[in-house]
Chain A
Amino acid sequence: MANGWAPIIGLVVVAVFCGSAWFLSPKGENQTIWRSTLVLSAAAMYIMWAITFLAQLHPLISPIKGNLRPEVDT
């Protein structure tokens, strides 16, 4: 499953996506907009995902169940 290599794999995937977005963007006067929007979106989404992933890679605290009701739990 997902381990420490995931962000690197994700980076490769995003890089490939960005590369193809650069070359496959529809030609015409809006090409720049297509390219920048696709590449930037992919980058922004990747960064946020990677941050979230890394934050949980070696978590320092673990969840503690809330709303504990003894009569249910015992």
Chain B
Amino acid sequence: MAPHKDTMFRSADMSLTQLYIANEIGREVVSGLGELGVMDFRDLNSETTAFQRTFTQEIRRLDNVERQLRYFRSQMDKASISMRSIYDFNNQFASPSASEIDELSDKCQSLENRISSLNESYETLKKREVELTEWRWVLREAGGFFDRARGQTEEIRHSLDNDDAPLLQDVEHHGQGEASADRSFSVMNIGFVAGVIPRERIAAFERILWRTLRGNLYMNQSEIPEPIINPETNEEINKNVFIIFAHGKEIIAKIRKISESMGADLYSVDENSELRRDQIREVNSRLSDLASVLRNTKSTLDAELTAISRNLAAWMVIIKKEKGTYETLNKFSYDHQRKTLIAEAWAPTNSLGLIKSTLSDVNDRAGLSVPTIVNQIKTTKTPPTYFKTNRFTLAFQTIIDAYGTIKYREINPALPAIVTFPFMFAVMFGDAGHGTILLLAALAMIYYERPLQRAKLDELFSMIFYGRYIVFMMGIFSIYTGLLYCDAFSLSLPWFKSMWAWDNDGHGPTASRVEGHTYPFGLDYMWHDTDNDLLFSNSYKMKLSILLGWTHMTFSLMWSLVNARYFKTPIDIWGNFLPGLIFFQSIFGYLAFCIVYKWCVDWAARGQNPPSLLNMLIYMFLQPGTLEDPKAPLYKGQATVQIILLLMAVVCVPILLFLKPFYLRWEHNKARALGYRGIGESTRVSALDDDEDEEGRTLNGGRESFGDDEDGIAMITQDIGHGEEHEEFDFGEIMIHQVIHTIEFCLNCVSHTASYLRLWALSLAHQRLSIVLWDMTMKNAFGVTGIAGSIMMVVVFYGWFVLTVFVLCVMEGTSAMLHSLRLHWVEAMSKHFIGDGVPFEPFSFEKILEEDPVE
């Protein structure tokens, strides 16, 4: 296999390789290959479940470490400590040794214990602090209640004795009875309960107490001005202090129970004001002690987290890589003695040298005498499709991959799409001014590529940023097409001498041609702001889109020839490509020719009215052999040529329909007649019976037979066979397939040509919209002079610019891009795209980190 360069034209040449790795260095080898990222490992244990695999233990352990790291992360977020960015690390996280991983896991374990114990004590302390704070509030507020209540003992007593007295009489007459202020509650056998309750519960609390105690209580409450923070949930709660006086032990016990069930916290308060003052003092000193302890705990925790934050990103990366390594190792199988690991992987043939050198490097470092063996094995399995992309081609490749995975070694439609995609866009978006905006935006994104890649972008912008090179190409082509359309922000660009001169000394209204002069580049600027510019530009743009569509489709159709030649299936050339091409060209190629021909003839000099091309095409189908106006043909012998073309197109349909299926059936029957059978069939041909057919096998040449020769069973390999199963030959299925293909192709020739008219429609809409925007804003602003005019100019200019960017560039640009996308996916790719490839998914640390970024 001569190694040739892998290009973007076809997917990279792949080989299935087999690796024999000594058990001891399995991990090192795989992580070395992960750094390379060029091997797509096949799962050799697909029949075993995830739990039965060899390295499940290790993965579980790593999962645990990952959980601990995430825990650190969440704690850091809680303490608002930022992680050191992944980009601040100098080394590229060289894969660590197994002992380092063990160390890391132990370290994480101890750190987790330490942090969680610190957290726990912090939370307990915080709870204590809250309790003390609440108590302090109770003590402070209760003092007021006591002072007020003491004055009313007489009334309370009185009201207790007198059933007829209103219950709240005391409230109505307070401030009386100062004389009895010194009488203690205990003397009266009045008890009290003090505590704190959330504010939203207070109403319910009051009602319940009132009903259960039948009003035998005296309750006082006040709001705590500052919210209390719950340390468990970190929520702020507004609370009230309450104090309830009641008569009798039973009732007091009842009140206690009710308040506890309502979620109130009760605190003991002494009724003696002296003692209360002492209590407050004590609480205050305890609070300040607690605050200092809290501060210490917090700072220890923060210091610990800061220390972790310095390395956390690196640890996360290391653990992710390690996990990926073990997940890959799980795909390997063992030999009989369990001494070597056997792996199978797809790798680009050109990277095999690199792989081998990496493997020997790993071996040398490990100092192992047993080398890692790399075998290339031949197989009938479909290799995966892999394109090496760079910054420039990535977005284009993504566009094509979004439609379908390209077949292995098929033409890559992304290569021509680098030009055609932005070009089709530009035909619809043609405006030099808007193109410049696009180009500048793209250049800015390319210039600030690095910082933007690292920054967190919102969804829309990150999409635009991903396609920055597409936008770049779009900008360039839009400027070009804008120049051709002679539009810059809907204004004309008078760069060359016009081919028209106004009659009547430049007053018009009509114009006449400057003899022998054609405007050299793009549309003549004189058409701007004329009465009939739409008439002219519509005719021009419609024909432009037909011609571009025809060119694009013919171009795409040619790729199917290249594909058929590459895959050595001549039947696709004779049965699909050629009749299709003739069909398409004899109708739409002829139309394209007529358009150009009609332009080239000087009808005025001939003194003839040119025939309408639309009617010509209709007559060609409906009344073959007749013209709309037989006296004025487009050219001599037009009717005959059209009959011949039509016949050619008609003849192509049955060829397209029948040639390929019948050829395949003939080929299949020939092979069977020679004694070959598909391997799925029950009648197997043994080598003994087969001796005389030895020649037949070589006749089948050109195709490799990867049969198991010892069993003497020949295997007819076909390109369509995937994996282990070969498709049975089924004529009916092939016929149906071909009928669908034929109908689709013939109808699509018409509908796809019509579909390219969107180029005209979109460019017309874009141009009109920008003219309307200009006329409604800037044109009015130019009309006003003086200072008012300048102020208006500035304001209007901003409005115009913002609308230009958002409506004309972003919105219109998006729609033009989607239309261009459709033209590529449907109109162009349907002509040659085979698809049904298997994407190449290499085991690569870079990919793992991209999919699940540490940040």
Contacts and interface: CB of A to CB of B under 8 A. Distances in A.
Interface of A: 1-4, 6, 29-33, 36-37, 40-41, 44-45, 47-49, 51-68, 73
Given A1-B517, A52-B523, A63-B532, A47 B551 contact: yes
B602 A61 contact: no
Contacts of A52: 484, 522-523, 540, 544
B481 interface: yes
Given A30-B390, A56-B499, 14 more contacts: A2-B519, A33-B415, A36-B416, A45-B480, A47-B547, A48-B427, A49-B521, A53-B520, A54-B596, A55-B544, A58-B599, A58-B604, A64-B511, A64-B530
B36 to A, nearest CB: 17
Contacts of B551: 47
B500 A54 contact: no
B7 interface: yes
B513 interface: yes
Interface in B422-446: 423, 427
A2 B497 CA distance: 11
A60 B603 contact: yes
A73 B507 CA distance: 6
B7 A62 contact: no
B543 A55 contact: yes
Interface residues of B, number: 64
A29 B531 contact: no
A50 B75 CA distance: 67
Interface string B522-552: 1110110111110110011001100110010
Given A29-B388, A57-B600, A68 B508 contact: yes
Interface in B266-301: none
B415 A56 contact: no
A29 B500 contact: no
Contacts of A48: 427, 480-481, 484, 544, 548
Given A55-B540, A64-B509, A73-B508, A36 B518 contact: no
Interface in B470-496: 477, 480-481, 484
Nearest to A62: B511
A57 B530 CA distance: 19
B9 interface: yes
B222 interface: no
B393 A33 contact: yes
Contact of A58 (B532, B536, B548, B600): B600
Nearest to A64: B531
B536 A4 contact: no
Interface in B201-237: none
B645 interface: no
A62 B610 CA distance: 16
B502 interface: yes
A63 B500 CA distance: 8
Contacts of B420: 40, 44
A56 B531 contact: no
Nearest to A58: B602
Nearest to B513: A62
Nearest to A2: B520
Contacts of B523: 52, 56
Contacts of B477: 41, 44-45
B518 A1 contact: yes
Nearest to B7: A32
Contacts of A47: 547-548, 551
Contact of B529 (A3, A31, A57, A67): A67
Given A36-B418, A48-B544, A29 B7 contact: yes
Given A33-B393, A44-B420, A68-B508, A2 B518 contact: yes
12 contacts: A2-B520, A29-B5, A33-B8, A40-B418, A44-B419, A45-B477, A47-B548, A48-B544, A55-B539, A61-B532, A65-B511, A68-B508
A41 to B, nearest CB: 5
Contacts of B512: 62
A56 to B, nearest CB: 6
Contacts of A51: 543-544, 547-548
**Lowest 5 A-B CB distances belong to which pairs?**
A65-B508, A40-B419, A32-B7, A2-B520, A63-B530
A59 B510 contact: no
Nearest to B416: A40
Contacts of A6: 518, 520
Contact of A55 (B9, B416, B548, B599): B599
A37 B418 contact: yes
Contacts of A54: 596, 599-600
Nearest to B602: A58
Contacts of A49: 484, 521-522
Contact of A66 (B388, B530, B536, B602): B530
Contacts of B502: 65
Nearest to B497: A1
A53 B477 CA distance: 18
Contacts of A55: 539-540, 543-544, 599
| Residue from B420, B520, B524, B526 having most chain A Cβ neighbours under 10 A | B520
A57 B480 contact: no
A48 B419 CA distance: 14
Contacts of B604: 58, 60
B526 A63 contact: yes
A4 B600 contact: yes
Nearest to A67: B529
Contacts of A32: 7-9, 415
Nearest to B610: A60
Contacts of B415: 32-33, 36
A63 B512 CA distance: 8
Contacts of A73: 507-508
Nearest to A33: B8
Nearest to B520: A2
Nearest to A28: B5
Contacts of B535: 61
Contacts of B526: 63
B392 interface: yes
B516 interface: yes
Nearest to B484: A52
A3 B602 CA distance: 12
B795 interface: no
A19 B370 CA distance: 54
Given A6-B518, A58-B599, A58-B600, A63 B9 contact: no
B576 to A, nearest CB: 25
B601 interface: yes
A63 B516 contact: no
Given A53-B520, A64-B511, A36 B390 contact: no
A5 B231 CA distance: 87
A29 B4 CA distance: 11
A11 B539 CA distance: 24
B510 A62 contact: yes
